[in-house]
Homo-oligomer: A and B are copies of this chain.
């Protein structure tokens, strides 16, 4: 990869330089309040890609995210452009307009420093951690379905005039390096021998080899990859897993949209559903006694059903009420006689989106078990045989979802298959 030439004023911030930087921003300084020397600044350092600071003053706090010119997790040998901060800010701005209560408020963006200063979310925790601890978030399905329905619908051809849609496509067309990570790590490497891949070994060695030799799945994942690269349906978050959501019992905020671009809607919806299914299968590894997670596990599946159903209902409602776009234009379906046809077109659209969603969900599940980046849902299971058992079940369901997506007639059919898959006791050599 080519080394990016860094913009002149760019330098990675530390606690000292961040303090003077924030003190120079009048709005932020007022928000934090008091003497800048008294601000507490902690680098929380749990990002794979970026620096993240929590800053607290006498009046309030902010979170500061700064992109590094390389992948933090790997180091300078894996360069990654700072421009991702620009795309994250662009996406946060669009989302802030469409779902202001479901994203952090943005206070400042500095393109040359690749810095975003935003609302400090407290006492929020990462949804994935909450789910590993079997916490229930009764409003989450309601919130995330609103996030997905509104951000996807209002950036689609059904809501936008064609020129505005093409302008959005152009705005995000430069976010190629982040898209390339997805293209390689999700849609390609898990299905071949690649240095980045890892899995629970030796338990899953045979299964990993089966996936690499599975022609049907290589065909299916390649069609999904092509769809990812060539379907600017809407502004997608691009990394909408349970680690990109911060929650309390009552509040939900989606963060980290640096992978955002104009892509296929099913990639976002599938990411969320795939990650819920992963958590479902992982529960067996986190129970302190047999059966202890039975009820919670059911909550996970019920919430999965609710996420899709509510997303579908809200998306259709938005479509019915806001047909301002150039696709399925209202002037063409203005008379009552054409209403049933438009209704049938909407159903057909949602059915295709559902099939895309299952395929993308499956791709997200497989990459977390056979590829580079794994989920703590499984990683935190200490007993490797238990972990591999959970992972094997997830893999087998995912294969079915990807290769035979059209055989599922509803989201309940998917969760039923997940339940049935727990009966399977894989044998490891």
State whether B173 touches A167 (Cβ < 8 A).
Answer: yes
Known: A223-B345, A226-B328, A328-B226. Is A333-B166 also a contact (CB below 8 A)?
no
Closest Cβ of chain B to A162, distance in Å, is 6
Query: Out of B192, B231, B329, B334, which one reaches A231, CB within 8 Å?
Result: B231
A17 lies within 8 A of chain B by Cβ: no
* Chain B residues whose CB sits within 8 angstroms of the CB of A337 once the complex forms: 213, 215
State whether B326 touches A215 (Cβ < 8 A).
Answer: no
* Chain B residues whose CB sits within 8 angstroms of the CB of A219 once the complex forms: 341-342, 344-345
State whether A225 touches B180 (Cβ < 8 A).
Answer: no
Copies of this chain, complex-wide, total 2
A169 lies within 8 A of chain B by Cβ: yes
State whether B166 touches A222 (Cβ < 8 A).
Answer: no
A232 lies within 8 A of chain B by Cβ: yes
State whether A225 touches B170 (Cβ < 8 A).
Answer: no
State whether B163 touches A218 (Cβ < 8 A).
Answer: no
Closest Cβ of chain B to A214, distance in Å, is 9
State whether B192 touches A163 (Cβ < 8 A).
Answer: no
State whether A215 touches B338 (Cβ < 8 A).
Answer: yes
How many A residues touch B, CB cutoff 8 Å?
47
CA distance A334 to B191 in the complex (A): 12
A38 lies within 8 A of chain B by Cβ: no
* Chain B residues whose CB sits within 8 angstroms of the CB of A341 once the complex forms: 215-216, 218-219
A340 lies within 8 A of chain B by Cβ: yes
State whether A188 touches B327 (Cβ < 8 A).
Answer: no
Query: Out of B191, B218, B225, which one reaches A326, CB within 8 Å?
Result: B225
A165 lies within 8 A of chain B by Cβ: yes
* Chain B residues whose CB sits within 8 angstroms of the CB of A218 once the complex forms: 332-333, 338, 341
* A162, A179, A225 pick with most chain B CB within 10 angstroms: A162
A329-362 vs B, CB cutoff 8 Å, 1 = contact: the mask equals 1011110011011101100000000000000000
CA distance A216 to B327 in the complex (A): 16
CA distance A218 to B188 in the complex (A): 39
State whether A327 touches B157 (Cβ < 8 A).
Answer: no
A174 lies within 8 A of chain B by Cβ: yes
* Chain B residues whose CB sits within 8 angstroms of the CB of A192 once the complex forms: 331-332, 334
CA distance A331 to B191 in the complex (A): 10
* Chain B residues whose CB sits within 8 angstroms of the CB of A188 once the complex forms: 329, 331-332
* Chain B residues whose CB sits within 8 angstroms of the CB of A229 once the complex forms: 157, 162, 165, 326-327
A164-202 vs B, CB cutoff 8 Å, 1 = contact: the mask equals 011101100110110110010000100110000000000
In the A-B complex, list the 4 residue pairs whose CB atoms are closest, starting with the nearest.
A170-B173, A215-B341, A163-B176, A226-B327
Give me 16 A-to-B residue pairs in the complex whose CB atoms sit less than 8 angstroms apart, sorted by A's number: A157-B226, A162-B180, A162-B183, A163-B176, A167-B173, A169-B169, A170-B173, A188-B329, A192-B332, A213-B337, A215-B338, A218-B338, A219-B342, A229-B326, A230-B231, A232-B232
Apart from A162-B183, A163-B176, A222-B332, 10 more pairs, CB < 8 Å: A157-B229, A166-B176, A166-B179, A188-B332, A192-B331, A215-B337, A216-B341, A218-B338, A222-B327, A230-B231
